[in-house]
Structure 1
Amino acid sequence: MSNSIRTLARRAALVAATGAAAVVLAACGGDGADRAAGGAGHGDAGSHGPTGTPSATGAHNPQDVTFAQGMIPHHRQALEMARLAGGRASSGAVKDLAGRIEKAQDPEIRTMTGWLKTWGEDVPQAGGGMDHSGSGHSGMPGMMGDEDMAALEKLTGKAFDHQFLTLMVEHHEGAVEMARTEQSKGRYGPAKAMAGDIVTAQQAEIREMNGMLGDQS
């Protein structure tokens, strides 16, 4: 009988140890899954659903998609404008501003493109030039029509400087409006952070450009 008791005791201990190990493994696995889900949101608290489980949407909402899909072509147009300045502007300050716009907005386009691909959403096509008619800008304030870009391309010197600054102020104001909507209605942490950066940087550039326009008058 004593041998049987010892055998049963060993079996009970083995079962208890196995159960404890399973609990530990489950806890570790859950923590890793949480980190993987949270990683997409850079630690955003919204990366988990109401029950605390990882969100299948990657912590973004439709507004985040709208923001990225709208801001990508908006930024692309700003880059088209900025690249014209190199051979047409007469003011060194305008050329410097154009260079800073290109340096800031090109990486943001790549970042937003990555978000959309991760979310399985459509990425606005590049390479089509200004393929938006004036009526197609309703969702993207500040965008220029084809005629505006064509007119800008024909200008050089001080005339280009003035028109470039005038149009870019309007373009920036549109971007700020779009970014503020993302700040108030978006969910995805990195997108809201980018929106905040856009508001701060482009408002500063608007003040700078208005100052240049004032100097030209």
Structure 2
Amino acid sequence: MTVYKRSFRMPLHRRIAMVGAVAAGTLLLGACGSSGTGHEGHSSAAAQGSMKSPATDAFNDADVTFAQSMIVHHQQALEMSKLADGRASDHEIKTLAGQIEKAQDPEIKTMQSWLTSWGKPESSGMDHGMNHGGGSMPGMMSEKDMADLKAAKGTDFDHRFAELMIAHHNGAIEMAKDEQKNGGDAAAKKLAADVIKNQSTEVKQMQSILDRL
């Protein structure tokens, strides 16, 4: 009888160790079971964080001008891209137009939120105009450019779209480089860097399309 009791009497330090091991195992299983949703939640939080407005005490006049001007510039790019539906014949042009819409529409919303947080109007009050090749904003299409693009179809549209969008993108890149040089807000300068990187890649793509059309 004495032997039986002794076999089940465990020293205190061993009982504490066993409880600790069980608790650690439970925590490990919980972490493994939630690893997928945890990563997804982190990605979602990071995405939401990237869309937040920058600190209002960091911006300067160059940031405001960049946001106001690039909103108008992006809006015209969206207008051009939407024309591809029903007019473009080249598959790559159609795909590229969709990519431009997908990228630039959220950027417009982001820049609008910045101006709101900065207490600045979306419009600078100046007539930007649509003056491809000149005027206050580089790369902007003229009313004639837009009318000709709307009237074009098939390969003619593909050519015009690529040529005009190359000029449009190069104008945006020029504006973004100015923001990187003169801007003060980190988020605005980061967006400018993204514009330079992404639109430079698209310019090369459109040039290759023109070379094969």
Q: Which residue of structure 2 lines up, in the alignment, with residue 116 of structure 1?
A: 115
**Mapped partners of 2:205, 2:159: distance in 1:** 13
**Mapped partners of 1:140, 1:118: distance in 2:** 24
Structure 1: 4+ residue segments shifted above 2 A: 131-139
Measured after TM superposition, the shift of residue 139 of structure 1 is 2.3
TM-score by length of 1: 0.70
Deviation track 1:19-63 (CA, whole Å, cap 9, x = no partner) reads xxxxxxxxxxxxxxxxxxxx854xxxxx6xxxxxxxxx5210000
2:172 to 159, 175, 185: 175
**Mapped partners of 2:57, 2:133: distance in 1:** 30
CA contact (8 A) 2:159 2:210 kept: yes
**Mapped partners of 2:100, 2:72: distance in 1:** 14
State the identity %.
Answer: 49
Structure 1: gaps (5+ residues): 1-38, 42-46, 48-56, 126-130
Q: Which residue of structure 2 lines up, in the alignment, with residue 82 of structure 1?
A: 81
**Mapped partners of 2:194, 2:132: distance in 1:** 28
1:143 to 140, 145, 153: 140
CA contact (8 A) 1:79 1:106 kept: yes
User: For the pair shown, which has the larger CA radius of gyration, 1 or 2?
Assistant: 2
**Mapped partners of 1:78, 1:193: distance in 2:** 20
Assess, with a 3 A threshold, how the Cα gap between structure 1 residues 137 and 110 changes in structure 2: closer, same or farther. Answer: farther
SS in 1 for 2:86: helix
SS in 1 for 2:121: coil
Structure 2: gaps (5+ residues): 1-51
Assess, with a 3 A threshold, how the Cα gap between structure 1 residues 80 and 174 changes in structure 2: closer, same or farther. Answer: same
Measured after TM superposition, the shift of residue 132 of structure 1 is 2.3
**Mapped partners of 1:196, 1:137: distance in 2:** 23
- 2:70 is the counterpart of 1:71: yes
CA contact (8 A) 1:65 1:121 kept: yes
Q: Which amino acid is 2:151 matched to?
A: K
TM-score by length of 2: 0.71
- Report the aligned-residue RMSD: 2.2
Count of aligned pairs:
160
Q: How does 1:25-64 map to 2 (within 5 A)?
A: 41=54, 57-64=56-63
